[in-house]
Structure 1
Amino acid sequence: MAPAPGAFTVPPDTLVRIAATRQRSRDLDLLHAALHSRRLVLFKALLARVGREDLPRDARAAFDRDWRLLARAESPAPAAARRLLDHPAVGGWIVDALNASGPAGLAAALRPLGGIAAGTALRTGARLDATLSTTGGALVVPGTGVQNARTAHVRIRSGPRGTLLTPVNRPARSVLLRPDGRGAGAGWTSLAVLPGSAGRLDDLGTGHALNAQVRPRPDRAAWLARWRAAVALLESADPWRAAEVARLIRSVVPMTPTDDGSSSCTLRAAPWAVHTAFPDTARRFAEVLVHELAHSKLAVLADVVALHHADGAAVHRVAWRKDPRPFDGVLQGTYAHLALADLWARVAERPGAAPAARRTARARREEYRAQVADALPVLLDSDQLTEHGVRFTVSMKQHLTSLGSGSNSPYALSDSLSRDGDVR
């Protein structure tokens, strides 16, 4: 595995553009490079933990085998491998493994590494011939799909033309995966492509720990139809924002609302994945996509630049949540709501909009502007921001001002984003 690059420097103008929620392509390149560097650090931390843990002999042998396979799978095309290694589900898996309890917990958490190696080989065309362990009889290939092998081991044979997965002692359940990720064979289920993007609908339960769970499957057709409608709304109102969604979101993971009422969230370990309950309207879905994508961008940025030095005490009140929030939650929420204020400002001013639609969009813009304006003093009047954090927050304030203001409106949002969570 390639060494992690050195420390990243974020130019002031890049910080300002990201703060305004509408960064340039080169700014995203920096964020992607930073995410990859962080991912390599986590892989090395995992390797170090395995080295010092008293694992069962068979678990250690399986890890050593899968680690070597991953290195071999990466070597023919490191750039292609990088896209798999940076997948949100892989980040979630590494953190779960690092947090696993004791040798037994770590041994169980390490099993999906073989599927990561298989997914990497699929992207690089590496030639592999090895036997992998399954988890509960299933082999997860992140970002691609799940093989219900119904056996403890699967033989993988891969090359430039694709990957053959053959359950040991069950050759009739072999699966052939093409380099484009499409698969065919008994027991294989692909992740559905989110139309018009490189992302996938992860409705198979693999979105975090890479362990396919047995649970009722969501209505895939309904999710894809709602995605199409949401992206169409964004394209008609804000083509730039629609292109950002299509480019950056790697997966949409269906979830059930949490105990605190949140219906969507972003996992800090898995940026570019949107975890959400089924949105009741296309507009609601569009808002969730923009909201959670903002969380991902800020989560990646915060791994590069220290924006504050506050602890995790939940002591701050904000307009979009009933419960007190930690300082980082205020910063994250302010940024996400600024992205929504920006979206509705552009919807309100789009050419050809009907007067009623324009009034409604301005009302939504004003609600989000008010929420951001209410939270900015919490940030700026504190002594918790770093120099970079001050520049970032002042830039948010300047962008909020640039969005304009309107008169008090009788219109209110019926589905306020108070149901959405911060980064976890």
Structure 2
Amino acid sequence: MAAAPGAFHVPPATLVRIAATRQRPHDMDLLDAALHSRRLVLFKALLARVGREDLPAPARAAFDRDWRLLERAESPAPAAARRLLDYPAVGGWIVDALNAPGPDGLAASLHPLGGIAAGTALRTGAQLRTVLPTAGGRLVLPGTGVQDTRASHVRIRTGPRGTLLTPVGHAARSVLLRPDGRGAGAGWTSLAVLPGSAARLDGTGTGHTAAQDAGPPPPDRAAWLTRWRAAVDLLQAADPWRAAEVTGLVRSLVPMDPAGEGASSRTLRAAPWAVHTALPDTARRFAEVLVHELAHSKLAVLADLVALHHADGSAVHHVAWREDPRPFDGVLQGTYAHLALADLWSRVAERPGAGPPARRAARARREEYRAQVADALPILLNSHQLTEHGERFTVSMRDHLTSLGGGPNSPYALSDSLSADGDVR
């Protein structure tokens, strides 16, 4: 596996554009390079931890086999392999493995590496011949699909024309995968492609827990794809730039249990570009979730690239969008995500052809988010916790928020609410 690149330089103009939630393509190239560098660092950290731990001999042998498979799978076409290695679920799995408790926990978490190697070979055309164990009869190829093998092991043959998965002792359940990931065979379920994008509806999750015995229940594909299409269509009509951002950046949509506790949507820092959400009940709500969670992903990648603050998390702050107090980083993340929503509704309010009622409704929605951001900005700016980069970023957020009001004489311009003291405890 290639070495991770060195340090990255973030030009001030790039920081300003990202802070205004509307970056340019070369800004995203920088974030993508940073994400890939971070992913390679995590792989190296996993290799180092495996080397340090007193793993059971079978677990160490399996890891060594799968690591060699991954290196061989990557070598013919590193650029094609990169797309799979940077897939959100791969990042989630590595962090899960790095955080697994003790040698036994680490050994139990290493299983998905073989599926990652096979999925990489599918994309690069590398020729692999191996036999991999399943987890309770399931084999997950990240970003591609899941095979219900009904077997403890699968014989895998990969090459330029695709991949053949043959459950040991159940040859009738063999699956042939084309290089584009489409497959046919008993027990195979491809991840659905979200219309107008390269993203996947990924019910396998974003970590090694996805490979456990039963796995999560399959999502209602028709409902998710219909609601996704409606949300993207709404964005396209109101804000084509934001629609293109959503379809270009989202890599996976991970269904959450609507009956579960906590937030109805979330982003994992270990798995940027994955949107975890319960199925939103309207296209408008879905569009907001996508914009909100993408903002979290952008800031998560940026924060791995450049330090924005040096808060230790001990101080907590009250914010308008949550009942529970938030750590400083949570305030920064939430402020940025709500600024993206204020930006969205500002564009909706000014779109050509909108009638007066629609404009009033969009402006009201914009003001709701703008008020939340205006309330939180003083917490950040008066904290003395921001780095030089973080201060530039936060001031740029403030400047963009002011611009959304249409100028100082607009009825929607900010008042002196930015001078208020934040509530800290």
Give the TM-score category using the shorter length: over 0.9
Letter in structure 2 aligned against 1:7 = A
Letter in structure 1 aligned against 2:241 = W
Pairwise CA distance, 1:245: 0.4
Aligned twin of 1:272:
273
Aligned twin of 1:45:
45
Aligned twin of 1:415:
none
Letter in structure 2 aligned against 1:308 = H
Aligned twin of 2:127:
127
- CA distance in 1: counterparts of 2:166 and 2:262, whole angstroms: 43
Secondary structure of 1:382's aligned partner = coil
For 1:260-409, what aligned pairs fall within 5 Å after superposition? 261-313=262-314, 315-404=316-405, 407=411
Secondary structure of 1:189's aligned partner = strand
Secondary structure of 2:179's aligned partner = coil
- CA distance in 1: counterparts of 2:205 and 2:370, whole angstroms: 36
Q: Is the 8 Å Cα contact of residues 94 and 207 (structure 2) preserved in structure 1?
A: no
For 1:141-220, what aligned pairs fall within 5 Å after superposition? 141-203=141-203, 205-209=204-208, 210-211=210-211, 213-220=214-221
Pairwise CA distance, 1:258: 7.8
TM-score of the superposition, structure 1-length normalised? 0.94
- CA distance in 1: counterparts of 2:168 and 2:195, whole angstroms: 35
Pairwise CA distance, 1:133: 1.6
Letter in structure 2 aligned against 1:372 = V
Any idea what the Cα deviations from partners look like across 1:322-361, whole Å, max 9, x if unmatched?
0000000000000000000000000000000111111100
- CA distance in 2: counterparts of 1:407 and 1:229, whole angstroms: 32
Q: Is the 8 Å Cα contact of residues 249 and 273 (structure 2) preserved in structure 1?
A: yes
Aligned twin of 1:254:
255
Pairwise CA distance, 1:260: 5.7
Letter in structure 2 aligned against 1:146 = V
The percentage of counterpart residues that share the same residue type is 81
- Return 5+ residue gaps in structure 2 as ranges: 413-425
- CA gap of 1:386–1:110, structure 2 versus 1, over 3 A, is same
Is 1:228 the equivalent of 2:229?
A: yes
Pairwise CA distance, 1:149: 1.0
Any idea what the Cα deviations from partners look like across 1:26-77, whole Å, max 9, x if unmatched?
0000000000000000000000110111111111111100000000000000
The list of structure 1 runs, each at least 4 consecutive aligned residues, that deviate by more than 2 angstroms after superposition, is 205-210, 212-218, 256-261, 405-408
Aligned twin of 1:25:
25
Pairwise CA distance, 1:207: 3.0
Pairwise CA distance, 1:175: 0.6
Secondary structure of 2:164's aligned partner = strand
- CA distance in 2: counterparts of 1:317 and 1:325, whole angstroms: 6
Q: Is the 8 Å Cα contact of residues 34 and 301 (structure 2) preserved in structure 1?
A: yes
Secondary structure of 2:211's aligned partner = coil
- CA distance in 1: counterparts of 2:349 and 2:343, whole angstroms: 10
Query: How many residue pairs are counted as aligned between the two chains?
Result: 407
TM-score of the superposition, structure 2-length normalised? 0.94
Pairwise CA distance, 1:217: 2.5
Secondary structure of 1:131's aligned partner = strand
Q: Is the 8 Å Cα contact of residues 176 and 185 (structure 1) preserved in structure 2?
A: yes
Secondary structure of 1:111's aligned partner = coil
Q: Is the 8 Å Cα contact of residues 253 and 277 (structure 2) preserved in structure 1?
A: yes
- CA distance in 2: counterparts of 1:250 and 1:380, whole angstroms: 33
- CA distance in 1: counterparts of 2:123 and 2:354, whole angstroms: 44
Q: More displaced, 112-121 or 144-153?
A: 144-153
- Return 5+ residue gaps in structure 1 as ranges: 409-424
- CA distance in 2: counterparts of 1:142 and 1:11, whole angstroms: 34
Pairwise CA distance, 1:257: 4.8
- CA distance in 2: counterparts of 1:116 and 1:381, whole angstroms: 45
Pairwise CA distance, 1:278: 1.0
Q: Is the 8 Å Cα contact of residues 269 and 297 (structure 2) preserved in structure 1?
A: yes
Any idea what the Cα deviations from partners look like across 1:307-331, whole Å, max 9, x if unmatched?
0000123510000000000000000
Q: Is the 8 Å Cα contact of residues 112 and 134 (structure 1) preserved in structure 2?
A: no
- CA distance in 2: counterparts of 1:147 and 1:64, whole angstroms: 24
